[in-house]
A = this chain, B = another copy of it.
Amino acid sequence: MAHSVTPRATPAPSPRAGGPVFLGADEAARLAARLGEASALGATLAEERAAIEAWLAEKPWVPGSGPGGGVEHEQHKRNYSMLFAAGRHWQMTGDRRLLERIRTVLLAYAEIYPTLAFAKPYSQNPPGRLFHQILNEHMWLLFAAAGYGSVSADLSAADRAAIEAHLFQPMVTMFTVTYAHHFDIIHNHGMWASGAVGVAGIACGRDDWLTLAIDGQRGDRATAGFLAQLSLLFSPTGYYEEGPYYQRFALQPMFLFAEALERARPDLGIYRFADHAVRRAFMGALDCALADGTLLPLNDALKRMTIGSLGYRLGASLLYARDGADPRLLALAARHGRVWPDASGLKLSDALKGEVPQSFATGSALMTCGPQGDRGAVGILRADAAVASLDCGSHGLAEHSHFDGLTLGYFEGGAEVLRDYGAVRWINVEPKHGGAYLPENLSFSKQTIAHNTVTIDETSQHGGDAERAMRHHGRVLRFAGETAGRCCMVGEIAAFTPGVTLRRTVALLDHADFERPLLVDVVEITADAEHLYDHAFYYDGQIIVPPASFAAEPTLAPFGTAPGYRHLWRLGAAALGDGRGGLTWLQGATFRTLTLAASTAAELVLTRIGANDPNFNLRAEPGLVLRLKARDAWIAGVVESHGYFDEATETSRAPRGQITAIERLPAEDGLTVLRLTGHDRNGRAATWRVGLAASGDTHAVDGFAWSGAVEIRRDIKP
């Protein structure tokens, strides 16, 4: 469903005085009445208060700049969080120590800020004066200005003048003039920039700043500014161009500025703007979370990031109060045990005292890409504790995107079975290049071979050129997510490599003969000429049954010299005997078996990440690559999760997979029938057939008939 991307500008109301941005006087009193309450709100306020008291107990400290994760960086982060929280608590309690500390710290910043040179940068992001990248300075302004708004009426005119003229004005000038090109980008940085300038505008009563933040520098609300960000960054299903990791981050300025606008500019109806873009963005972010709270690691992602982060806390409260009391929000807030400290959080906290659903999770979901939802999609299949994701969407924004079209993610029982590396970054760990992205993020993790997809002729998709990549997108041929245990999707990318089309069919199947769901995965390649195909799978754990006839290398060399390949050690290889083979590994307490078959003889190469990595920036994780040379080709795989191992009790069960071979039966284009050979859970020899259909309702191949996208049945022996 498309939505408007070029709303008309409405005339702004007459100039306003500055003051509190997020909390009215009556609201502050209502919150104050809940201090000490045994509730999510009470816990939130108590936690904030404890942090503020720790801050008050220390001498005010306003240092210069430092690298990410360095003590100066962390102190500036702490100062802005505390300015914000202390402002709120000043409004609630009138405790003059809070007012005094906020004043002291803001004046200290105002005193040094004009004297500071630009910080040492660690990335292509322009530096600020407090932080190594302007992004963090945006964050500083947003939170600190909100804190200032809470106290400004209680400061002298001289103090206000000093803070606004020597701190906020130079910041806004830096953001909007010095770095004018960066202010207007459609990107999480642009969201932060507009949020910061907008909140500062409200706090200081500077409508010029506020207007700039809402409308963008060209004033058109279409190419820049907060409204354009809302219109352009999210698809109709709320998928975010940069992927879930940055979506989580963008939620913060989105909610903070939206809520500020709802209070300062109710005429905008911001929560309803662009087809409820705020709501869509949040629910999309929630749809991309796994049941354990981690996020799908598409594009640059730190793998431990969860729905515990601030944007999700903001969203649960604000949406619940502002745009529909969805029960998933209650479940999310119950998990947080915290709410946003304002009237919305108060409402949510009270609701948490009633009945609360168990889970915030949804079923299978197709996340369309692009503001119009017409640039492919990311599919998420869910069957019990199994989740598979297939990326047939758009490249996303250049900076954080990976060349990973048709990459497959697979999670089972809370573990990532087929792994995505994520970003090469030790965030805020100062010795790792100031906590910034590391060179291997480009040289390894963005490259196609770093992903669970097919690399052609050792060359990343689009030749590794982001500009080229943004001109193409995948498409979804079929998405059948209604029935857990029979869910399936079919995606296709063409032109990611000239002359080659890749189609991938992924299904999650429950069958009584198998302990846990099967992941079935079929890649079909149609090409103009012979190519070298490398189909990679990254896993996690100890190999229990190596591929048959595996020959280990006596010495290790990088797998190749091409981008990505040069970071993989080639551990050895096995022939995919008569086109089929596999391996079993132990991941935590569970065994996993991947069985593979291909249209032609192939080589199964085992790898480990870490070659050409003298600074140990990469994690030494294992993988495998199925390599074959052909024109048209197919590769079919099945992943089983089975058995149990517990070293402490010395118990083990079912350490081998049930499937020993996969065959693909001849079938017309668009249909795939696999025959799986193996044994059932009682050890009796058995075969099963799996039918997959890219389209259509009823199908039959070689006597195997099924309806819909996918079916699995055990063959009955005559």
Give the contacts of A616-665 with B (CB-CB under 8 A). 616, 619-620, 622, 645-653, 655-656
B544 pairs with A432, CB closer than 8 A: yes
A556 pairs with B569, CB closer than 8 A: yes
The yes or no answer to A550 lying at the interface (CB within 8 A) is: yes
The CA-CA distance from A625 to B187 in the complex, in Å, is 47
Q: Give chain B residues whose Cβ lies under 8 Å from the Cβ of A416.
A: none
Give the contacts of A273-310 with B (CB-CB under 8 A). 302-306, 308-309
Give the contacts of A580-612 with B (CB-CB under 8 A). 584, 586, 608, 612
Tell me, rounded to whole Å, the shortest Cβ–Cβ distance linking A547 to chain B: 10
The yes or no answer to A426 lying at the interface (CB within 8 A) is: yes
Partner of A305, one of B546, B608, B647, B651: B647
A650 pairs with B546, CB closer than 8 A: no
Tell me, rounded to whole Å, the shortest Cβ–Cβ distance linking A266 to chain B: 34
The yes or no answer to A165 lying at the interface (CB within 8 A) is: no
Q: Give chain B residues whose Cβ lies under 8 Å from the Cβ of A190.
A: none
The yes or no answer to A463 lying at the interface (CB within 8 A) is: no
- Contact A650 to B544, CB < 8 A, known contacts A69-B655, A620-B620, A655-B69: no
Give the contacts of A425-469 with B (CB-CB under 8 A). 426-432, 435
Partner of A651, one of B428, B614, B653, B655: B428
- Contact A652 to B429, CB < 8 A, known contacts A546-B616, A556-B555: yes
The yes or no answer to A14 lying at the interface (CB within 8 A) is: no
The yes or no answer to A542 lying at the interface (CB within 8 A) is: yes
A650 pairs with B428, CB closer than 8 A: yes
Write out, one digit per residue, whether chain A residues 532-564 have a CB within 8 A of any chain B CB (1) or not (0).
000000000011111000111011111000000
- Contact A302 to B614, CB < 8 A, known contacts A429-B544, A429-B655, A655-B430: no
**From A293, which residue of chain B is reached at the shortest CB distance?**
B648
The CA-CA distance from A180 to B647 in the complex, in Å, is 31
Considering only CB atoms and an 8 Å cut-off, how many residues of chain A contact the other chain? 56
B614 pairs with A652, CB closer than 8 A: no
Tell me, rounded to whole Å, the shortest Cβ–Cβ distance linking A657 to chain B: 10
Tell me, rounded to whole Å, the shortest Cβ–Cβ distance linking A583 to chain B: 9
Tell me, rounded to whole Å, the shortest Cβ–Cβ distance linking A422 to chain B: 10
The yes or no answer to A715 lying at the interface (CB within 8 A) is: no
Partner of A427, one of B545, B550, B650: B650
A645 pairs with B584, CB closer than 8 A: no
The yes or no answer to A615 lying at the interface (CB within 8 A) is: yes
A648 pairs with B614, CB closer than 8 A: no
The yes or no answer to A572 lying at the interface (CB within 8 A) is: yes
Q: Give chain B residues whose Cβ lies under 8 Å from the Cβ of A608.
A: 620
Q: Give chain B residues whose Cβ lies under 8 Å from the Cβ of A555.
A: 555-558
Identify which of A309, A427, A646 gathers the most chain B CB atoms within 10 Å of its CB. Answer: A427
B429 pairs with A615, CB closer than 8 A: no
A648 pairs with B304, CB closer than 8 A: yes
Tell me, rounded to whole Å, the shortest Cβ–Cβ distance linking A718 to chain B: 29
Tell me, rounded to whole Å, the shortest Cβ–Cβ distance linking A278 to chain B: 24
A69 pairs with B652, CB closer than 8 A: yes
Partner of A614, one of B545, B546, B558: B546
Question: How many copies of the shown chain assemble into the complex?
Answer: 2
The yes or no answer to A482 lying at the interface (CB within 8 A) is: no
The CA-CA distance from A542 to B609 in the complex, in Å, is 13
The CA-CA distance from A543 to B618 in the complex, in Å, is 9
Tell me, rounded to whole Å, the shortest Cβ–Cβ distance linking A306 to chain B: 5
B543 pairs with A645, CB closer than 8 A: no
Write out, one digit per residue, whether chain A residues 677-691 have a CB within 8 A of any chain B CB (1) or not (0).
000000100000000
The yes or no answer to A47 lying at the interface (CB within 8 A) is: no
B616 pairs with A542, CB closer than 8 A: yes
The CA-CA distance from A649 to B550 in the complex, in Å, is 42
The yes or no answer to A208 lying at the interface (CB within 8 A) is: no
The yes or no answer to A613 lying at the interface (CB within 8 A) is: yes
Q: Give chain B residues whose Cβ lies under 8 Å from the Cβ of A308.
A: 648
The yes or no answer to A384 lying at the interface (CB within 8 A) is: no
B306 pairs with A648, CB closer than 8 A: yes
**From A309, which residue of chain B is reached at the shortest CB distance?**
B648
Tell me, rounded to whole Å, the shortest Cβ–Cβ distance linking A620 to chain B: 7
The CA-CA distance from A71 to B308 in the complex, in Å, is 43
The CA-CA distance from A552 to B440 in the complex, in Å, is 15
The yes or no answer to A100 lying at the interface (CB within 8 A) is: no
The CA-CA distance from A69 to B302 in the complex, in Å, is 38
Q: Give chain B residues whose Cβ lies under 8 Å from the Cβ of A622.
A: 620
The yes or no answer to A74 lying at the interface (CB within 8 A) is: yes
The CA-CA distance from A183 to B706 in the complex, in Å, is 63
Write out, one digit per residue, whether chain A residues 368-388 have a CB within 8 A of any chain B CB (1) or not (0).
000000000000000000000
Tell me, rounded to whole Å, the shortest Cβ–Cβ distance linking A165 to chain B: 32
The CA-CA distance from A645 to B304 in the complex, in Å, is 12
Q: Give chain B residues whose Cβ lies under 8 Å from the Cβ of A309.
A: 648-649
B656 pairs with A431, CB closer than 8 A: yes
A651 pairs with B74, CB closer than 8 A: yes
B429 pairs with A614, CB closer than 8 A: no
Q: Give chain B residues whose Cβ lies under 8 Å from the Cβ of A431.
A: 544-545, 584, 655-656
Give the contacts of A140-154 with B (CB-CB under 8 A). none
Give the contacts of A242-282 with B (CB-CB under 8 A). none
Q: Give chain B residues whose Cβ lies under 8 Å from the Cβ of A429.
A: 544, 586, 645, 652, 655
Partner of A647, one of B71, B303, B584: B303
Q: What are 30 residue pairs bridging A and B, where the CB atoms are less than 8 Å apart in the complex?
A: A69-B653, A71-B683, A74-B651, A74-B653, A302-B648, A302-B650, A309-B649, A426-B542, A426-B586, A427-B650, A427-B652, A429-B645, A429-B652, A430-B652, A430-B655, A430-B656, A431-B544, A435-B652, A546-B614, A546-B615, A550-B614, A551-B614, A552-B614, A554-B612, A555-B555, A555-B557, A556-B557, A608-B620, A620-B620, A620-B622
The 7 closest A-B pairs by CB, nearest first: A543-B616, A304-B647, A556-B556, A552-B614, A69-B652, A428-B652, A304-B648
Additional 6 contacts, C-beta under 8 A, given A428-B652, A430-B652, A431-B544 = A304-B647, A305-B647, A428-B650, A542-B616, A552-B612, A556-B556
